[in-house]
Structure formats: structure tokens, C-alpha cells
Structure 1
Amino acid sequence: MLTGYTIAILGGDARQLEVIRRLSEWDANLFLIGFDQLDHGFTGAKQVEMDEVEPSVLDAVILPVPGANAEGDVDTIFSNKLIRLTKEWIEKTPEHCLFFTGITNQFLIDVTTETKRKLVPLFDRDDVAIYNSVPTVEGTIMMAIQHTDFTIHSSKVVVLGLGRVGMSVARTFASLGANVKVGARKTEDLARAFEMGLETFSIHDLKDHSHDCEIVINTIPAQVVTASVIQNMPNRTLIIDLASKPGGTDFRYAEKRGIKALLAPGLPGIVAPKTAGNILANVITQILLEHLGEGSNA
């Protein structure tokens, strides 16, 4: 149980509701910041403004999946009010206070390093990424069906990157009968794709493999679907970019060529927020139980 622990949850989307629900069930004291438009409450949770929270009582702070921007601003769909995380505010939290985020950036790394607070980037964990690959794949299939006029079965699909998400995408589209090619940089990834029975190529040769593709699914967070690659694609090609913003596609040139290119980070929170929220809640609860016992409430 998390009885006696005090946690602030800053902003977010529907995934955070599952986190709130789980932590409430575990008897934590919750401050909800950026939820003033939420139409229902949670037992043991108080909806407050940022300046109404005393940071010194907090054992953990939970940011939404995108974290905060370079200025420390936190997005939320449940409020129109500005939520800003600052170094001065963080310094007022206890030394044992944990800061959870889905995705990290230089601002969060710098501000937690300077204040000597522990930052937990959840999406850097293998377990979270692998669990999240399930709703990500389902969302990708949904988008492919919605934005094409042909079946996935027998279609020519190029998957870029064979990380935790790329592997799930490649395997699932192949199981649906698509002709899947995998492009990757690492030789071990190409070997794994070969072992999976898929055609492979080096990402550096992408231009040579884009002339007849019908669906391109990118998972690499670097611009690999460049103008020269897009120039070689048929007009009917659909690009689904799953990489974190700004993606790995030259969207400007794709639009100029009349090729539909969709940036789709955060699909789990869109297509299955309950499942995605439960994934985060499970891991956050586990980490809190393992580590917060070392703090003042032990």
C-alpha cells in the first residue's frame, strides 16, 4: 500500500486517469494539478492549482507522457491553465522525491540533475515500451485501414527500425499477410529480421527500396524518410511515422508530392488510453513501492 505517501500528478491525457485511479486504490494522497475540467473526482485526490501545493510534502511527482517542454510547461487536456515546472519549485521537494515522465528531454534532465532529484523516464524502460507496443500496433493497423483503399494482406510494407515497437509492427503486419521489408542500421537488427523470415536492407539503402512500397512505417527518431526517398515513392504510398516528435519524415516534401504522411506518436493514449494508463500505473506503483520506502515515509 501507499498509505502516507503524497504524490502530485501534473497534467496529461486520459492515460493519467488510470494512474490516478490506481494510486487512489493504493491509498496514496494525491494532488491533481491541471484537472479542473475533470467531470468526476477520485477518493483521496484533491484538485488544486500549482501554487496551492507545498512541494516539501511530496514523495513523487508524475508528469504526463510527453513530460514538459523546454520552458517547463506541461500539457493537459483537462485544463486551459498554464502548468509550469521550475527549478525553484523542484528544489523545495524532499531529496527522496521521484519525478516520473514518459519521455524526457534536456530541460528535465538538466533541472533534475541540478536539483539532485531522481528522474524516471518510463518510456526508456524495456517493459513499458514492449507493453506499449501492443496498442501501438493496433493503432497502426487502424490507421493503415482508414487511409488506404487496399487490404493489408498482400500489400508491400516497409518497416524502418527494429526496436521494441518496430519488431512488433513488423511481426504483426507480416502475420496479416503483408509483404514486409525491414530497414535498420544495426547488423544484429537485420539478422533478427532475417530470422523472423522478413526481407531486410540497410537503412542507408532505403531509397532503393521505396520505389514500389505501399505503406511505410517509421519508428526511427531521426529524419530517415527524406525528400530523396519520398521522391522515389509511388503517389499512393502511405507513410505512418510512429517516432516521437518531430518524427523521421520530411512532411513538407511529402505534402508537396501529394503523399499522405501521418505523424502518430502516442498512439496508445489515443486508441487504448485505459490499457496504456494501466501499463504506466503498474510500473509507477512498482517503482514507488521499491524506492519510496527509502524516503522520509519509510
Structure 2
Amino acid sequence: MLTGYHVAVIGGDARQIELIRRLNEWDATVYLAGFDQLNESFREAIDLDFDSQQVEKLDAIILPVPGTDTDGKVEGIFSNQLIHLQEEWLKKTPEHCQIFTGIANDHLKELVRKVDRHLVPLMDRDDVAIYNSIPTVEGTLMLIIQHTDFTIHGSKVIVLGLGRVGMSLARTFGHLGANVSVGVRSSKSAARVYEMGLTPIDMNNLEGTDMSCDILLNTVPHQVVDASVIKQLPSHALILDLASKPGGTDFRYADKRGIKALLAPGLPGIVAPKTAGRIIADVVSRLVQEDTRKENG
């Protein structure tokens, strides 16, 4: 339970709906900004007034998974207005106030540093990323089925990256009967791929590697699927880039070659927002309570 805790939810997408519901169930005092199109769907919640004493009570501020833009603005699909995260009112929050975001850019990191508050980039946490890999894999399967005319079973699949999402992807596609290869950079990861019964690919030498496949899944957030890789793909191949924007694919060259390439970050919020919101809520609840217990000795 979060009785006595004050939490502000600022902007976001459908994941925040489940997050707000959970916070209300746990008896937190919830303040909302960027949800004016919901027509009072959350009557237990309070509209956040940035100029009021509400800010001085906040134990936590929860931003959307994308965080802010490079100017500190927060977007939300339930409002036509952008909310500007400002240093002046962040300074009014209690010293123990935690600021949660999915991804933290340099602007947000610097802003939080200036006000000396604790920033928690949730997508950097193993627990959140591993839980989120479940709806990510399901969304990946959905997109592949929609955009191909062949079965996953028996197809050749390459997964680039053996991180928390990459491992779930590799395991799932292997279980579905695909011929799976996984791009890795270390001998340790190569050993793990081999142990999983899959084929390791050395990502330090992709130009010298056979990269022809039916489905190419990228999880690496910098360009690795370049022209040297794309030119090896057959015309029917599908590239699905799951890395955060702008992804790790040369989309211009893929289009020039007639290869279908899709950038699909944030799949949990699209295919399973209720589950994704619950994941965020559970982790935030635990961290807020842990931090408050530390404050109280």
C-alpha cells in the first residue's frame, strides 16, 4: 500500500492509464498533468497545479517512457498541450522526491542534476527490461506475421544483440522452429548462444559474415544494419528494428533496395499497455517505499 505517498504522473500513453489505476488502488494521493482529454475518468486523482503547494508534497514524479524531448517538454496522447519540465518547480519538491522516466536523455539528466534529485531511468533496470521483453516478443511476432507471407517455422532469423530483449527473442524464435543466429560481441555471449542451441555471429566482423536471412531483428541502439548487411538480404526479407529511435538500421538504403524495414520501439505500450503499465507501477511502488524507509532511518 502507498497510503500517505504523493505521486505525480505527467504525460504519457496508455501505459499510464494502468499505472494510475494501480496507484489509486494502493491508496496513493495521485496528481495528474497531461490527461485533460480523459474527461474526469480518474475522479480519485487531483489535477497537478505546478504553482501550488502540491509540488512540495511529492514523493515521486513519473514521466512517460520516452521521458522528455531535448527542450524538456513532455508529450502525452491524452492532451493537446506539451508540459515543460522546469527547474524552478522541481526545486520545490522534497529532497527525497524521485523522478522516474523510461529513458533519460542528456537534457533530463542535467536538469535533475541541477535540482539535486534522484533520477531513475526504468528501462536501464534489469527487472523492468526483462519483464518488458515479454510483450516486446509478442509484439514482434504480431508484426512479423502481419508483414510476411511465410511461416516463422523453418525461416532463417538473425537477432542482433543478446541483451535482455535479444535473449528473449532468440529463445522464442528458436522454440518456434526458426533457424536462429545471434549477433554478439564477446566470447562469453557467444558461449551463451551456443549453450542455447543457436548459432553465434561475431558482430565485430559483420562485413565478413554471411548475413542473408528471412527476418533480421535488431536490438542494438546504434547503426549496425548498414548497407553492407542490407545488400546481402533477399528481396522478401523483413528488417524489424526494436531499438530506441532512431534505431540501428540504414532505412534509406533498405528502401532503396526494396527491403521492408520497420522501426518499432516501445512495443509493450502498443500491444500490451495494461501489462506494461503494471510493470512500471510495481517497480515504482517498491522503489518509492524503499527510498522513504531509508529516509526515515
Range of TM-score over shorter length:
over 0.9
Alpha-carbon offset, residue 278 of structure 1: 0.6
Aligned to 2:15: 15
Unpaired runs of at least 5, structure 2: none
Separation of aligned partners in 1, 2:28 and 2:44: 7
Q: Is the 8 A contact 1:70 1:107 kept in 2?
A: yes
Cα distance in 2 for residues equivalent to 1:77 and 1:50 = 20
Letter in 1 for 2:189: D
TM-score (norm: length of structure 1): 0.95
1:201-254 CA-partner distances (Å, limit 9, x unpaired): 101333444553110000011100012211222121100001111110011111
Contact kept in structure 2, 1:101 and 1:121, CA below 8 Å:
yes
How far, CA to CA, are the matches of 1:239 and 1:135 in structure 2?
19
Counterpart of 1:166? 166
Match of 1:144 in 2: 144
- Which residue of the partner structure matches residue 6 of structure 2? 6
Deviation string 1:166-186 (CA, Å, 9 cap, x unpaired) is 000000001000000111112
**Aligned counterpart, 1:125:** 125
Please give the alpha-carbon distance, in whole angstroms, between the structure 2 residues aligned to 1:47 and 1:63.
Answer: 15
User: In the TM superposition, what are the counterparts of 1:102-117 in structure 2 within 5 Å?
Assistant: 102-117=102-117
**In 2: Cα distance, 1:221 partner to 1:211 partner:** 19
Assess if the C-alpha contact under 8 Å between 1:34 and 1:49 holds in 2: no
CA contact (8 A) 2:6 2:29 kept: yes
Cα displacement string for residues 105-125 of structure 1 (whole angstroms, at most 9, x for unaligned residues): 111211111211000111111
1:72-101 deviation per Cα after TM superposition (whole angstroms, max 9, x unaligned): 111100000111102222112111111000
Deviations 1:247-285 (A, max 9, x none): 100111111111111111100000000111111111111
Report the count of equivalent residues. 297
1:42-61 equivalences under 5 Å are: 42-48=42-48, 50-51=50-51, 54-61=54-61
- Equivalences for 1:72-83 in 2 at 5 Å? 72-83=72-83
Q: Aligned partners of 2:75, 2:120: CA distance in 1, in Å?
A: 18
Q: Does the 8 A contact of 2:50 with 2:89 survive in 1?
A: no
Partner SS state of residue 270, structure 2: helix
> C-alpha displacement at 1:294, in angstroms?
4.5
CA positional deviation for 1:8: 1.0
Matched, 1:157 2:191: no
In structure 1, how many angstroms separate the alpha carbons of the residues matched to 2:51 and 2:157? 50
Residues 12-21 or 1-10, more deviating:
1-10
Normalising to structure 2: TM-score of the pair?
0.95
- In structure 1, list runs of 5 or more residues that go unmatched: none
Question: Matched residues, percent identical?
Answer: 61
